[in-house]
Amino acid sequence: MGIYQEIDGFFNPESIAVIGASATPGKIGYAVLKNLLEFYEAGGKLYPINPTRDEILGLKCYKSILNVPGSVDMAVIVVRSKMVPQIIDQCGKKGVKNIVIISGGFKELGGKFRDLEAEALEVARKYGIRIIGPNCIGVYDPRTKVDTFFQPKERMLRPKPGNVAFLTQSGTYGIILLEWSAMDELGISKFVSYGNKMDVDEADILMYLKDEPYTEVVGIYLEGLGDGRKFFQAAREFTKKKPLIILRGGWSEAARRAALSHTGFLGGKGRIYEAAFKQAGVIIARTLEELYDMVKALARQKYAKGPRVAMISNGAGPMVQAVDAVSVEGLKLAELESSTKEELRKNLSPFTIVENPVDLTGSATPEDYKVAMDILLDDPNVDMLFVFFVHQNAPMDKSIIDVMREINKKARDLGKTVLAGAAGGPYTQSLNKEMEKAGIPTYPIPERLVRAAKALYLWGKNVSGES
């Protein structure tokens, strides 16, 4: 069986057993089973395994996976670590091909449990089983409803189906990325939290996602690489087809030690890895927000064909800082054609600042934006348009969403890129969400917008074969 089928098994099982399922709310084994009820309701087979129960959450419970009638494709294991090797052996006998181990208590505790991981892996290899984890929150696929999380749905939003895959060594960061995605209406193709990655690693998943049809962009949070050579080869192949953004944790000496006790991996040394990542076509993020911001930009706007930026706002503060950031990040302020400036002057209020950046001032209406953006997009020197909003201003209103939908379409037709900036309370957040739904990635502060735009520019160079 090829790697594609092996990894795909985690997202497309027909039947799942939860080994260590619990009937007690608040327990991990209860939460995992409960979150899989949607998989069950969608027609999947779901088997709680617990020797002390006959039924959990309305499902028949089995003493052992060996007692389940019919076949089981995948198992989610939430029992104590010391029991795991024998559980895997039972899974092997049952014909299970994919296992997610949620439980901790392995390599991350240092030497005393290290043998346990090797032992478990040896059993798995015997049966040709692939394992994700241990010490993780596992996998999520919004299309097939596979959801191995122990985070109840009322506490953690799940995003809808889409084109983004996130891989993460840290379950915590995975949870945050998914909830941010859900709030922004950013859709997910596949999600994997792989923790100690005793078997399946980033390289395996990348080779799968490279060909997985829904996935168009991948973001990874990484603490340490096991087999570096394998990873960089996979990354190189992946980035020939799709963009890959990586955030690395644990590069400081102290953090390297912390990472060791988190997922059992030594974080990599800073500069050496950075160069290797870049050579492999990887775009590097510096914080979790930046990883998310860049992935969102690439998911919505694909790439930028050049570095030349025009900016517009009804409140200039953010543009002053965006100009600073543009100069730091190696993007450029577009030099507008004199005909563009003339058009702007002719069609806008005399109080408008007709330079790049264009300041419509606080009296601007959605119609003023429309007129100005139309003119700016027609300028051949503009590759990207950064649109900042003070939605709170009295002369603005919700019709700006329709305006932006049109502008985004026009930009797309011209091969140009649009990003938006706006921040504030519930009113602005609701408009930002509408903007996201219209396909325009939106950011609270200009520095975050500019870094996301840089990812679009870097990927654009890759697409055009320039880099």
Residues from 257 through 276 that contact a second copy (CB under 8 A): 257-259, 261-263, 267
Decide if residue 154 touches a second copy (CB under 8 A).
yes
Among 28, 299, 312, 375, binds a second copy (CB under 8 A): 28
Region of 358 (left: φ > 0; alpha: ψ -120 to 50; beta: rest) is beta
Among 17, 21, 31, 101, binds a second copy (CB under 8 A): 31
Applying CB under 8 A, the span of 4-12, 50-58, 153-161, 232-240 interacting with a second copy comes to 153-161
Among 58, 70, 426, 465, binds a second copy (CB under 8 A): 426
- Within positions 41 to 70, which residues make up the interface with a second copy, using CB under 8 A? none
Decide if residue 316 touches a second copy (CB under 8 A).
yes
The residue among 250 and 281 lying less far from a second copy, judged by its C-beta, is 250
Among 30, 40, 208, 232, binds a second copy (CB under 8 A): 30
Output the smallest distance, CB 14 to a second copy, in A. Answer: 26
Decide if residue 372 touches a second copy (CB under 8 A).
no
As a whole number of angstroms, the distance between CA 88 and CA 98 comes to 10
- Within positions 156 to 175, which residues make up the interface with a second copy, using CB under 8 A? 156-157, 168-173, 175
Output the smallest distance, CB 404 to a second copy, in A. Answer: 17
- Torsion over CA: 154, 139, 53, 46 (sign): positive
Question: Per-residue x/- marks for a second copy, 210-229, CB under 8 A?
Answer: -----------x-x------
- Residue 44 neighbours by CB under 8 Å, 6+ apart: 13, 14, 15, 16, 36, 144, 145, 146
As a whole number of angstroms, the distance between CA 424 and CA 347 comes to 30
Among 54, 335, 355, 402, binds a second copy (CB under 8 A): 355
Whether the CB-CB separation of 165 and 190 falls below 8 Å is answered with yes
Strand ranges (DSSP E) for 263-389? 283-285, 308-313, 332-333, 358-359, 384-388
Q: Which residue in 374, 377, 375 sits closest to 417, CA to CA?
A: 377
- Within positions 288 to 307, which residues make up the interface with a second copy, using CB under 8 A? 288-289
Output the smallest distance, CB 338 to a second copy, in A. Answer: 17
Q: Which tokens belong to 156? A: 């953690």
- Within positions 237 to 256, which residues make up the interface with a second copy, using CB under 8 A? 249-255
The residue among 125 and 398 lying less far from a second copy, judged by its C-beta, is 398
Decide if residue 357 touches a second copy (CB under 8 A).
yes
Torsion angles phi and psi, residue 358, rounded to 5: -90, 125
Output the smallest distance, CB 31 to a second copy, in A. Answer: 4
The residue among 104 and 243 lying less far from a second copy, judged by its C-beta, is 104
The residue among 281 and 421 lying less far from a second copy, judged by its C-beta, is 421
Question: Which 8-state DSSP code applies to residue 69?
Answer: S
The residue among 108 and 212 lying less far from a second copy, judged by its C-beta, is 108
The residue among 30 and 208 lying less far from a second copy, judged by its C-beta, is 30
Q: Which residue in 259, 280, 279 sits closest to 269, CA to CA?
A: 259
- Within positions 428 to 457, which residues make up the interface with a second copy, using CB under 8 A? 428, 444-445, 447
- Torsion over CA: 216, 141, 77, 96 (sign): negative
- Residue 206 neighbours by CB under 8 Å, 6+ apart: 167, 218, 234, 235, 237, 238, 244
The residue among 207 and 387 lying less far from a second copy, judged by its C-beta, is 387
The residue among 37 and 156 lying less far from a second copy, judged by its C-beta, is 156
The residue among 64 and 393 lying less far from a second copy, judged by its C-beta, is 393
Radius of gyration of the chain from its Cα atoms, rounded to whole angstroms: 25
Q: Outline where 280-337 has alpha helix (H).
A: 288-301, 317-329
Output the smallest distance, CB 244 to a second copy, in A. Answer: 19
Question: Per-residue x/- marks for a second copy, 67-106, CB under 8 A?
Answer: -------------------------------------xx-
As a whole number of angstroms, the distance between CA 33 and CA 378 comes to 55
Q: Which residue in 409, 414, 416, 461 sits closest to 439, CA to CA?
A: 409
The residue among 169 and 215 lying less far from a second copy, judged by its C-beta, is 169
Q: Which amino acid belongs to residue 212? A: E
Query: How many residues make contact with a second copy (CB under 8 A)?
Result: 87
Q: Which tokens belong to 51? A: 């020797």
Output the smallest distance, CB 285 to a second copy, in A. Answer: 11
The residue among 207 and 309 lying less far from a second copy, judged by its C-beta, is 309
Q: Which residue in 409, 386, 390, 410 sits closest to 400, CA to CA?
A: 390
- Per DSSP, the three-state class of 260 is helix
Decide if residue 184 touches a second copy (CB under 8 A).
no
The residue among 68 and 431 lying less far from a second copy, judged by its C-beta, is 431
Decide if residue 391 touches a second copy (CB under 8 A).
yes
DSSP 211-224: H-TT--EEEEEES-
